[in-house]
Structure 1
Amino acid sequence: MKTVADSIADKAKSERKRRAEALPSNARAAAIDTTEPAALEAVRIGRRLQTMRRAQGLTLVDLASKANCSASLVSRVENGRLLPSLSVLHKLVAGLGTSMASFLSGSENESCMLVRASERKEVALDYLGDPHQGVRIEQIIPHSPERTLQGNLITITAGHGSAGDYSHVGEEAGFVMDGFIELTIDKQTHVLGKGDSFCFRSEAPHSFYNPGPGEAVVLWINTPPTF
């Protein structure tokens, strides 16, 4: 005889199956099981996918287009609410221009990461500014879903800066290594020069600009990783 608990469990299982079957055939994914291992794996995959997507300057729509699926599906996977099937994950990973082996291996067991100056990677982000139009972003902390910090070396030529305001969850801190920048936080503009530092909540609308006369270099730290 089934107990009330058994009936509830069966109902939940049927609902998960119904939701999974409701997905488009070209974007079929498995709904997350309530068991802890599956939930943890969904979160791990989602965080890695989001970190890699942002590092490449791709929007949800961009990646969805590359993987031939919906942006809402990509969002659910990134938020850990959906554990993708192998075929869907393969398409998403291919859309990021990497292999399944590289994506799944990651760097979870690395307690220390060293990046030589010659190995620093440049990040192209259209929404921060065209790198050929005055903004260059280099990673000093390689992206990883296991890290809570993101560090970049941002070089800004005179007369250029971010393309508008940004607002997101987290905190930011920075150190001006050279030149001057105008840092606008919540509509208040602050002029910072070499040796100055800053820290603010990322939820406040913020932007940066180099008034000149020369190039500005800023060490910029975010938590959690933003792009």
Structure 2
Amino acid sequence: MHSPLALVRDPAAEAAALSAHQGTHFVHDGSRSNESFDTLEHLVGVNLARLRAERQLSLDALARASGVSRAMLAQIESARSVPSIKVLCKVAAALKVSVSAFLRRHALNGFEHLPADRAARVVSADGRYSARSLYPDAEPAAAEFHELRIAPLHTEPGTRRAPGTTVNLVVSEGTLEVSVHEQRQLLATGDAIVFDADQPYSLRNPGDTEARAFRVTLNAETPPRWDVPPETLRHAAERVADAGR
């Protein structure tokens, strides 16, 4: 039986999330607007300045270590220029970090603490199922990480996601029965399963104690070739129709 879910949040967590992201606007509609590029410039610049400050390096010192000019580094930090991947690789090597460190939306200290008592939780109406976010969920993410708790003999239907979405689940305590379409798989403590999340599935705890599991959801990415304007598709269809006459 489907159980309605409610989102439970701590007001302090909401305030902290808002404060952490205040002043920065991220675009998620897939558009390639100037605003999205401005955001990227700002994000890279802030992270470069933070990483350089943490290592107590001057612009001149980082320029010597990376082979990137002082002027270019200053432009990047002031969000006046988006560096190429080649430039970022040189700077990352000098700072001994991954290139992806420049694209993180973490707090200024380089990480984001997620206290358990402030985490966002999705709880079923009867309280027999809950999912706790283990990742910053203020922004859309390519991967989602949740801790699940399922009461004895409770069945929780899964939410179908877009085609291409994958779920990787591991049981940390108890047992779980995962049903995907008509197939069922019983998982003991330590067992894991991977399945496509665009199909009907459910999680059932057949035991007499609470079951816990960790779920990683890898969200689908739409290939660029799918992002085709409607008028382009219409023109293509017209050309095919003309060719067949």
TM-score (normalizing by structure 2): 0.43
Question: Which structure: larger Rg?
Answer: 2
TM-score (normalizing by structure 1): 0.47
